[in-house]
Amino acid sequence: MAATVTGDQPGGTPQTRPGLVRALRDRFGHLIREMSKFATVGGVAFLIDLAIFNVLIAGRGMEPVTAKMISTVIAATVAFVGNRFWTWRHRERSNPVREYALFFFFNGVGLGIAVACLAVSRYGLGSIWPGVFQTTLADNIASFVVGTGLGTLFRFWSYRRFVFVEAGTRQAPETNDDRDPRA
């Protein structure tokens, strides 16, 4: 006998609708797997970024924005390798120089997002409340929580859309055919 709209079986207990769950898993399962791998690679790169950043500002006395730029470039190299050879290994491989250049371009934009969040916190809000916003804790929150969060959303979208493209998403080659396609 068929389940009712609420999923109740006559004379039984509420049931989940396996057809709906299966359809959702079939439709979005690949995206969830990609996001999980992307998050794992990003987590490793994040820890590398965090460790190097803090070593440079605490151990070396480096200026925070410079330290952030250095730590992000090193972490981005690790992320490229992880994403190319694990997260999106099933995707078509184009010219490796193209992939590497685009990856670092979009990572640069992500770095810009994180550095902008840090700069706004340290120099913008820090000029108003230096005791709060010119601290190591504030630098870490602005850079790693706010900046990395926003940058991660941008990176996932841009890598998926422009760097590690799916087969069949390339632009059609232009032709020199002068004929009207409607004819």
Cα Dmax for the chain = 73
In a domain? residue 174: no
What is the pTM assigned to this prediction? 0.58
Q: Is 69 exposed, middle or buried (0-12, 13-18, 19+ CB in 10 A)?
A: middle
In a domain? residue 118: yes
pLDDT confidence of residue 154: 93
3-state SS assignment for residue 160: helix
What are the tens digits of pLDDT across the range 123-143?
999 889 888 888 989 998 998
What are the tens digits of pLDDT across the range 57-104?
998 889 988 998 899 889 888 998 898 888 877 777 777 788 888 988
In a domain? residue 128: yes
pLDDT confidence of residue 146: 93
- For residue 95, the enclosing domain spans 18-163
In a domain? residue 133: yes
Distance CA(52)–CA(31), nearest Å, equals: 31
pLDDT confidence of residue 174: 47
In a domain? residue 91: yes
In a domain? residue 49: yes
* Tally of domains in the chain: 1
In a domain? residue 24: yes
